[in-house]
């Protein structure tokens, strides 16, 4: 580790968390870019980063950067990712991948044309307990998958100026929080055949809460709930014909789970034992792919990121949420 040099685009809270875990895991940040030189320098001083750029364009043009982590607000993801790809840089893009499916397809196509890695930073996918869940499902322990349910309910700031409440920043519970269970449903069951959704809106016009029901023909159903103004345990369950997986709080972070058969017997109990917050696993995957000369991850392939954005678009269509950039 440490041979691949990272560049950070954006200096908000998620960029701070990501950078700390990246450095703690032994990786190297070569440069950071922000909209102002002052903010970039403050961030660079905090993490002992050699170079601070006062623009995103300067960051992606930096010859000492191999891969760019995009941590700007949702509406900027596509433009930042495309700029990095055109500059010959691999890209890790914070979730949601883009604002909508059209943008997502453009980013995926550009990465493929340039022969560069593009990876959505859906960090849950790369966690050890989720890897074990994939193995259990592949082994047939659950039988045929019939259902999935998960909540992502957080009590986030109510300030109308906060990005979670700002339409111009792609705010709302769905893209920030709902993307987690919707992405997990995609991992388990693919793209849904039918989408139903209902929402409760905030005073700023974005969704404060959105519930969804996805249908997969006669195979299965998935139910997701997200909200930005209430807090709950945030657990999840995967149900099959032979057994179920009960994932503890907080299901999308490093946590524990149980496999329970149809008689109620626990047939496997998984206990998470890791160091760090968990975002280091997506960094390891990105560097593994670059070292191997690969441009897509089988865990989070770009075509699935596009598919998830199509599902999010369908949910937004059902609840009537349109962002100013899309009008």
**Catalytic (active-site) positions:** 95
Residue with tokens 């580790």: 1
Q: What is the DSSP string of 194-207?
A: EEEEEEEE-TTSSE
Q: What is the DSSP string of 266-312?
A: EEEEE----SSSSTHHHHHHHHHHHHTT-S--SSS-HHHHHHHHHHH
Give me 237's structure tokens: 């369950």
198 closest CA partner among 224, 221, 170, 228:
224
The residues with which 5 forms a beta bridge, in sequence order, are 28
**C-alpha–C-alpha distance, residues 259 and 245, integer Å:** 5
In sequence order, what are the residues at sequence separation of 6 or more whose Cβ sits closer than 8 angstroms to the Cβ of residue 176?
156, 164, 228
């Amino acid at each position: 580790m440490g041979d691949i040099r990272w560049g950070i685009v954006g200096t908000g809270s998620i960029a701070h968390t990501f950078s700390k875990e990246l450095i703690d895991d032994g990786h190297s940040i070569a440069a950071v870019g922000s909209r102002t030189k002052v903010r970039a320098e403050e961030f660079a001083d905090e993490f002992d980063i050699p170079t601070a750029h006062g623009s995103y364009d300067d960051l992606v043009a930096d010859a000492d950067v191999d891969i760019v982590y995009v941590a700007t607000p949702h509406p900027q993801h596509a433009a930042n990712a495309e700029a990095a790809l055109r500059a010959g840089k691999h890209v890790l893009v914070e979730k949601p991948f883009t604002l909508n499916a059209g943008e997502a397809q453009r980013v995926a196509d550009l990465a493929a044309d340039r022969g560069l890695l593009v990876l959505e930073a859906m960090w849950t996918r790369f966690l050890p307990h989720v890897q074990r869940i994939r193995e259990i499902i592949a082994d047939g322990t659950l039988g045929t998958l019939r259902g999935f349910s998960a909540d992502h309910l957080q009590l986030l700031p109510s300030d109308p100026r906060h990005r979670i409440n700002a339409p111009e920043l792609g705010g709302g519970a769905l893209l920030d929080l709902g993307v987690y269970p919707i992405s997990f449903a995609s991992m388990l069951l693919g793209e849904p055949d039918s989408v139903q959704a209902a929402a409760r809106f905030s005073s700023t016009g974005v969704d404060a809460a959105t519930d969804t029901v996805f249908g997969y023909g006669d195979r299965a159903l998935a139910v997701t709930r997200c909200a930005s103004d209430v807090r709950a345990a945030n657990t999840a369950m995967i149900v099959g014909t032979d057994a179920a997986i009960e994932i503890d709080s907080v299901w999308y972070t490093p946590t524990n789970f149980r496999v329970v058969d149809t008689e109620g017997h626990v047939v496997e109990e998984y206990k998470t034992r890791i160091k760090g917050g968990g975002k280091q696993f997506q960094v390891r995957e990105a560097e593994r792919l670059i070292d191997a000369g690969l441009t897509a991850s089988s865990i989070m392939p770009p075509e699935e990121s596009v598919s998830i954005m199509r599902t999010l678009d369908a949910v937004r269509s059902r609840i009537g949420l349109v962002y100013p950039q899309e009008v």
